[in-house]
Structure 1
C-alpha cells in the first residue's frame, strides 16, 4: 500500500507507513546476561560506544548504544536483590547513566553529578527496594542529554516481584511481553541524524523508530500481548491507539501495576512516561499501533509546531493463524494505599515556565531544597506556559492526588514518576522520601522534554538524615575519570 502523507511540525510531509509497508521484524532488546556471585549480587556490564544502525532500511546511520550499535540490553532484577552495574565509557565525550524511576542512593543516581569521562568506568551498586515496574536508563549530562539520547543511548530496566508473579499476566519476554521504545528521528540527506534547528520543544523528527528501526512489525503468537511502551523521544508527545478503534487494557504506568485494569481506546505519553498495555488479538488479523494527533491542547499556542497535529504508525502487530490461548486478565492487580488524604495541604509548589522552574534555571552548585529523610510531602506543579512541559522527580514514585482539585483520570491513578502538565492546570503530587540520605549528592527534578532540561529547566534537592547538613558543592570532585 502507498504511504500516507501527514503534515509534520516542521511543515514537511511526514510519510506514515500503512500496514503493508511494515516489512521489518521488530528487534526485541536482548536480556542482559548478569553474573550472580557467591555474595548474591547480580552484576551487569554496560559499555557506552559508537556504532551504526539501519534505522531506515538501506541507510546506515552513525549511532551510539550500550554494548551494541544502538539502544541497550534490558536489565532485569527482582525486588530485594542487590545489583551492581559496571559502566565503561568508550565514547569520545563524557556521559552518564541515570536509572529513570529507580529508588537508588543519590551517589548512584547517574545524574549530571556522576559523569563518566571517556575511557573511564563507573560502578554503582544498590539494593532493589521497590515493586515490580518498567523502568529505563539513559544519559543525563547537563546541557547534552537530548543529543546523547537522540544518538541512541537508552535501555529498559525491568523489576519483578512475588506479587506480580502471582498474577496471570503475559510475562514471556520477547513472546507475549514486549518492551517498545518509541522515538522520533530526523535525518540529513546523507543519512546521519539531523541534530540541527530544534523547535522550542526540542528535536522533533519526521520518522518514527520503534526499538531502533522504522517500519517495524511484530508477529504475535498468543491471544494477548503485553506491550511495555516507553516514550523515549526528547520532545514529542504520543497519543497511542489501535488503528481499527478497538480498546486495550492499561495495566501499569511508570511506577508499577495499577489497582485494576483500565479499559481505554487511547493513551497519551509525554517524554519519559511509560505504559503497560495488553492487546487482545484474533487469529490471522493484523492491527496497527498508531499515534494520533494530540487533542488536549488548551493553552498551547503553537500546537502544530510542537507536533500536536502529527500522526504516525508505530508498529504493526501481525497475528499468527493459530494463537496460544491466554487467560482473562485479573480483575484486580496491585492495591494502592493513598500516601495522603485528598485534602492535604501542599508542602511545596513548582511553577513551570519557559526554561525555568520557579523562575530559576539550573545551577549545578546550588541546592534548591532539602528534604528530611522519611518525609511524606505534597507538591503542587503548575505549567504557567503556553508550551508543553512535564515533570519528573528522581528517586521517588508519586501518586497524583488531584488535577485542579479533582481526582485524576483512571490512566493517572497509579504510581508515576513523570507526568505531563497541561497549561494552567495544577497537579497535586504525593511522594515519600525513604532509605537514602546524602549531604553531598543531590537528586534532580525537571521537565523531561530534554531540550528544556538541557536549557536549565531543572532543580536539585538533598535528602538529609537527622543532624545532617548540606556539604559544600564541589563539582570538580563529582566526575569519574
Structure 2
C-alpha cells in the first residue's frame, strides 16, 4: 500500500506539473530577479582563465593584458516576453510583446529578443570598441509626418571620454542596413548599416573643483541619442549599463551592523528599471509609440494594469514585473541600480513588516557618497544609485517599490508601482516567510537630516496638487531634428557664441529652461553681479547644426541653470562631471517652501528659499541633477580642463520628452 501511494503521489505530481505547464493565459513558475549577461575585459576576471562571456563580447589578450573590450550590438525590432506575477500570486503571467527594440537575441530563445542587455565592464584605461549595427524598422517622423529609415547611435552617459570621431559622438547617424544614401546634415557623420565606436577610457582620476579627485570607475549607462527619436528608442528597450573598474575603487561598503566590508566579497546585482507601455494587439501586445501617447499613460495599478483592459503600463526590473530577490537572513547584498527609461521619475522605498532591511547608500551617479539610510529616494531618468541591503536575521518579505511622484503643476504625476519583491529566509531555517502584509510600514529615514547626506535622495511630497493629465506635446513648428528626414531647421540667431568663450572674473553662464504649449526650449546669457545681463539668445529649440555655447578649454566655470517652468527638469551635460554649489527653490507663492527645498534635496533649509550646501562633500562628480520649478535655480561649477573633453557635445534635460522636443543646446569646447 505504501508503494502504491508513493506511485500515485508521483503520478499526480507529474499530471499537475503538466497542466501547470500547459495552463492557458500564459502562466508559469515564479520568476526570480535575473542577472544580466556581463561583457568584461577587467583583469581580475581573467585571473583564473578566460571568463564565460556572451558570444557578442570578447577581450583578446594584447601584450599580456586585455586592454580592449569588444562588443557587437545589433539594434533591431524583436518580440520579447515580459513575465509578471499574476493577480493573487498563483503564478507568472507571460506578456508577449511583438515590437520591442533590443540589442541582442535571447540566447535561450532563437528569434526572440531580451530586455536584459549586457553590462559592459572594461578596465579604467581600456578602449571600449562597439560595433553597432542598425536593423530597426522604418518609423513615422512626428515632425514631418513622413515614414522613413530610423537612425540610431550610441551615447555613453556619465563617462568623461572624447566626443570626437568614433568616440562618444552624438553627431553620428547610423542608418539601417540597406538604406539608400540620404541628404547630408552639416557637422554630422553618416554611416550606413553599422558604425564602429572606439571609446578610450583615460586612466587616472578626474580633477574636480577644489582639487578633489574622483575615480573614473563607476556605474554609467549606454543608450541611443538620435535627437527626436531618443525617447521612443529607449521606451522600446534600447539601453544598458556600463561599469568600468570596480565598486571598491571609489566606494566603501558596510554590512548590516555598520562594519566596513569589502564590496568585492558581496554578491551583487545590476538592476535596470524600465517602464514599458503596451496596448493589446490580437493575442499579443505592442509597445505604444511614445510620441502618440500622453506622458502619463493611464491610472496604472501597482502591477501595471490600466483601467482600460486593452492597456498596460509595466514597470520592469531586469525585464520582469515584480521579480523575486531571494536572500538569507543576516545577509548583505550590493545593488547597482539605474533608471534606464525615458521619462518616468521613481521615488524608491521598501515596504513590508518590521523589521525592515537596512539600506546603506554608497554611491550616486557613479560617485561615492556617505552611507546614510537613503529611502525614500528620488531617481529621475538617467539617475544611478548603488547601495547595500542587509536583511534582518529573522528574515521577512518586503517590496521595493516606487511611491509615485508629482513633478509639479505643469508636470506629470508618475504612478506608484511594485518593482522587486525581497524575501529573506530566517537564519534558523530556509522556510519561506508570509506574504507582504496588507498594512505595510514605510521605510523612512531613521536619523535627522544633516548636511553630509546625499543630494537628491530622500524626497517628500513637495507638490501636493496633482496636475491634470496632459496630452502628448506637439513639437515646435520647424524645430530641427537629428534624424533621417527633416532639414537643419530654423536659421540661427546671428550672435557669435565664441565671443564669450572665455569668461571674465565674476562672470557666469546662465542657462534658462523654458516651455510653452508648443515645446521645450533653452535660453542662454552671461551674468555678472552688479551689471546688466547679456542675453545671447532667448529660449529656443535646439538646432543640431548650430553652436549655442562656446567654451575655451583649460579652466572651470560657474553655470546657473534657471527653471522657469512649472515642473522639475533634469539637467545633464555630456563629457564632464560638475560640482553643485547651490540649489535655490522657486517662487514661494506657488506653494513651495523652504521645507519643500529641504525635502527635495535632503538638506536643511538655509536663509530664505536657498538650500544650505556648505560643507557637503557629495556634491562633486554629478553628470545629471534635478532643477526645482517655478524659477528654481541650480548653480554648478564645471571643470573644462581635461583635453579628452575637447570637441562638440550637448547638454539637455534628461526627461527625453523634453529633450526630443527641443530642450537641448550644443556646446563647442575649443583649445
TM-score by length of 2: 0.57
Closer/same/farther in 2, CA of residues 198 and 412 from structure 1, 3 Å limit: farther
Q: What is the CA-CA distance between 1:253 and the residue it aligns to?
A: 0.8
CA distance in 1, matches of 2:560, 2:626: 13
DSSP 3-state at the match of 2:418: strand
- Any residues of structure 2 matched to 1:381-460 within 5 Å, and which? 381-404=561-584, 405-408=610-613, 413-423=619-629, 424-436=631-643, 442-460=648-666
Contact (CA 8 Å) 2:251, 2:368: kept in 1 or not? Answer: no
Q: What is the CA-CA distance between 1:180 and the residue it aligns to?
A: 1.3
Closer/same/farther in 2, CA of residues 163 and 71 from structure 1, 3 Å limit: closer
DSSP 3-state at the match of 1:58: strand
CA distance in 1, matches of 2:670, 2:658: 28
CA distance in 1, matches of 2:323, 2:237: 17
CA distance in 1, matches of 2:297, 2:562: 21
Closer/same/farther in 2, CA of residues 163 and 27 from structure 1, 3 Å limit: closer
Q: What is the CA-CA distance between 1:109 and the residue it aligns to?
A: 5.0
CA distance in 1, matches of 2:196, 2:640: 24
1:67 maps to 2:104:
yes
Give CA deviations for 1:333-391 in whole Å, capped at 9, x if unaligned: xxxxxxxxxxx956211111110011021101101112222221221112110123111
DSSP 3-state at the match of 1:149: helix
1:47 maps to 2:47:
no
Closer/same/farther in 2, CA of residues 269 and 166 from structure 1, 3 Å limit: closer
Contact (CA 8 Å) 1:131, 1:256: kept in 2 or not? Answer: no
CA distance in 2, matches of 1:451, 1:280: 37
Q: What is the CA-CA distance between 1:257 and the residue it aligns to?
A: 1.6
Counterpart in 1 of 2:86?
A: none
CA distance in 2, matches of 1:237, 1:387: 12
Contact (CA 8 Å) 1:94, 1:115: kept in 2 or not? Answer: yes
Counterpart in 1 of 2:31?
A: 24
Give CA deviations for 1:220-254 in whole Å, capped at 9, x if unaligned: 25711222221122221111011138452111011
Give CA deviations for 1:274-323 in whole Å, capped at 9, x if unaligned: 1112211135322211111337x5xx2156xx124x21111012224459
Counterpart in 1 of 2:511?
A: 350
Q: What is the CA-CA distance between 1:166 and the residue it aligns to?
A: 8.2
Counterpart in 1 of 2:268?
A: 177
* Range with bigger deviation, 391-400 or 84-93: 84-93
Which of 406, 418, 433 matches 1:313?
A: 418
CA distance in 2, matches of 1:165, 1:85: 28
Counterpart in 2 of 1:36?
A: 60
1:279 maps to 2:440:
no
CA distance in 2, matches of 1:154, 1:42: 21
**How many residues matched?**
416
Closer/same/farther in 2, CA of residues 176 and 438 from structure 1, 3 Å limit: closer
* Range with bigger deviation, 209-218 or 242-251: 242-251
DSSP 3-state at the match of 1:289: strand
Which of 200, 206, 218 matches 1:133?
A: 218
Contact (CA 8 Å) 1:184, 1:236: kept in 2 or not? Answer: yes
DSSP 3-state at the match of 1:187: strand
DSSP 3-state at the match of 1:88: strand
Closer/same/farther in 2, CA of residues 22 and 215 from structure 1, 3 Å limit: farther
1:378 maps to 2:541:
no
Counterpart in 2 of 1:152?
A: 237
- Any residues of structure 2 matched to 1:207-246 within 5 Å, and which? 207-221=314-328, 223-244=331-352, 246=356
TM-score by length of 1: 0.79
DSSP 3-state at the match of 2:278: coil
Which of 118, 126, 129 matches 2:176?
A: 118
Bigger CA radius of gyration: 2
DSSP 3-state at the match of 1:347: strand
Give CA deviations for 1:150-205 in whole Å, capped at 9, x if unaligned: 11111100021573488634346xx7211111122221112111225433679997
DSSP 3-state at the match of 1:263: coil
CA distance in 2, matches of 1:381, 1:60: 43
Higher relative contact order (Cα pairs below 8 Å, separated by 6+ residues): 1
CA distance in 2, matches of 1:286, 1:345: 55
Closer/same/farther in 2, CA of residues 411 and 210 from structure 1, 3 Å limit: farther
Which of 252, 255, 260 matches 2:363?
A: 252
Closer/same/farther in 2, CA of residues 286 and 257 from structure 1, 3 Å limit: same
CA distance in 2, matches of 1:286, 1:428: 42
**Unaligned regions of 5+ residues in structure 2, if any?**
1-27, 40-52, 84-92, 106-112, 138-149, 178-192, 203-214, 254-260, 301-311, 429-504, 524-538, 585-609
